[in-house]
């Protein structure tokens, strides 16, 4: 098992099980004014992130302290002017969170509300954009971690581009785990964080931005510390310096995680590993009688929602604890109208771990 020092493997959507070497990279201190940190670590990360996101020029990246939501809030709050209007595509808790951010910040917005098990269709987005000409920006989650659904980013971004609008993608739980080219897809802002598919530890998020868009965002932000433009300007003008204290250890761990992603063979190789993990997970769990919430074609290769067993004496916490004792931590469900639990398969997780999990599940089905 690859979880080394850890008492159990995290089968969660992040923070996830990281490698020993990623955690080891945190064992020294850094000065936030020194070139060793800014030029040697931050700037390298920034350019590597852009290279992972596209082969085209014209993109830049900004790192932002906080959990992933802070990076989403920084983007939503900094790129939509008061004269603009945001369309939020919502088919889960993370889509709903984007709308909530817009509401908190008094940003004009409208929501395309879908069921949590319903994939957004490009036709409906097209119809909405035709009907509401005031819309200037569209935001959608790529992998809706609520259910594990992979939303049709390419098709939706294509429609948004046809209308000449700005596309914002919350690719928090997918970036680094599935090939994406932001330029080819027409994405202007892609948001993700350190502790998901890049397999770093929590502490900051990042935004891959089309530079010609970002340069127009001066003075829009509704928050001082979450001003995406100001953070970018500071990093550009001062060789990677963050405006306020940066999570230095986390950032250094992320640098190591990027090295390890490259060693694995890049995003394509990681995608294959995750896909393989998920295939074994669904196969093994199905053989034990568990049903998936979503049809297979809607699944992301990152996290899967399973219906809870219907037996009266099934209790999630008992099941959770039984699995934890055997070395696996799973995740509660988040779907509003179905009783589910979730199993993530991202992080330092391999086929043999999934096999061992399925075996542990088979021995923990006390309700049978």
Ligand X SMILES: *Cc1c(COP(=O)(O)O)cnc(C)c1O
Residues that bind ligand X (CB under 6 A): 13-14, 67-69, 72, 94, 141, 145, 170, 172-173, 193
Residue 13 or 186 with smaller CB distance to ligand X: 13
> Minimum Å distance from CB 167 to ligand X?
16
Residues 6+ apart with CB under 8 A from 148: 293, 294, 299, 300, 302, 303, 304, 305, 342
Residues 6+ apart with CB under 8 A from 174: 142, 143, 150, 180, 192, 196, 197, 300, 302
Find, among 172, 199, 200, the residue nearest to 69 by Cα: 172
> Minimum Å distance from CB 309 to ligand X?
26
3-state DSSP call for residue 135?
A: coil
> Minimum Å distance from CB 328 to ligand X?
20
Bond into 257 cis (ω within 30)? no
Length of the chain (residues): 368
Closest residue to bound ligand X by CB: 68
> Minimum Å distance from CB 79 to ligand X?
17
Residue 204 or 319 with smaller CB distance to ligand X: 204
The H or E element that residue 7 is part of is none
In our burial notation (b when 16+ CB lie closer than 10 A, e otherwise), range 209-218 reads bbeebbeebe
3-state DSSP call for residue 193?
A: strand
Residues 6+ apart with CB under 8 A from 312: none
> Minimum Å distance from CB 92 to ligand X?
8
Residue 45 or 139 with smaller CB distance to ligand X: 139
Residue 67 or 246 with smaller CB distance to ligand X: 67
Residue 173 or 304 with smaller CB distance to ligand X: 173
Count of C-beta atoms within a 10 Å radius of residue 105: 17
> Minimum Å distance from CB 100 to ligand X?
12
Residue 241 or 270 with smaller CB distance to ligand X: 270
> Minimum Å distance from CB 194 to ligand X?
9
Contact by Cβ (8 Å): 191, 72 = yes
Residue 309 or 333 with smaller CB distance to ligand X: 333
């Amino acid at each position: 098992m690859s979880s080394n020092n850890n008492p159990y493997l995290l089968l969660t959507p992040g923070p996830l099980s990281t490698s020993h070497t990623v955690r080891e990279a945190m064992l020294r201190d850094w000065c936030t004014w020194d070139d060793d940190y800014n030029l040697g670590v931050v700037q390298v990360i920034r350019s590597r992130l852009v290279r992972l996101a596209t082969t085209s020029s014209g993109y830049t990246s900004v790192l932002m302290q906080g959990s992933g939501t802070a990076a989403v809030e920084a983007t939503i709050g900094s790129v939509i002017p008061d004269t603009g209007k945001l369309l939020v595509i919502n088919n889960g808790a993370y889509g709903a969170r984007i709308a909530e951010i817009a509401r908190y910040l008094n940003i004009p917005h409208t929501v395309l509300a879908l069921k949590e098990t319903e994939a957004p269709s490009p036709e409906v987005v097209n119809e909405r954009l035709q009907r509401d000409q005031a819309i200037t920006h569209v935001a959608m989650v790529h992998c809706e971690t609520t259910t594990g659904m992979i939303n049709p980013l390419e098709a939706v971004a294509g429609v948004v581009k046809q209308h000449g609008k700005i596309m914002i993608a919350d690719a928090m739980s997918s970036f680094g785990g599935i090939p994406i080219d932001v330029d080819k897809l027409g994405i202007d802002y892609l948001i993700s964080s350190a502790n998901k598919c890049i397999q770093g530890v929590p502490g900051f998020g990042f935004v891959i931005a089309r530079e010609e868009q970002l340069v127009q965002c001066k003075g829009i932000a509704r928050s001082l510390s979450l001003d995406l433009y100001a953070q970018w300007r500071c990093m550009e003008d001062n060789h990677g310096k963050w405006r306020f204290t940066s999570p230095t250890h986390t950032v250094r761990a992320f640098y190591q995680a990027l090295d390890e992603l490259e060693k694995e063979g890049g995003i394509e190789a990681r995608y294959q590993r995750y896909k393989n993990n998920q295939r074994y997970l669904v196969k093994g769990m199905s053989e034990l009688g568990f049903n998936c919430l979503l049809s297979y074609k809607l699944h992301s290769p990152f996290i899967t929602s399973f219906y809870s067993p219907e037996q009266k004496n099934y209790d999630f916490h008992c099941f959770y604890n039984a699995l934890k004792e055997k070395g696996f931590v799973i995740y509660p469900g988040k779907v509003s109208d179905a009783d589910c639990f979730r199993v993530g398969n991202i992080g330092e997780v391999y086929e043999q771990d999934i096999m061992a999990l399925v075996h542990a599940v088979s021995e923990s089905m006390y309700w049978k």
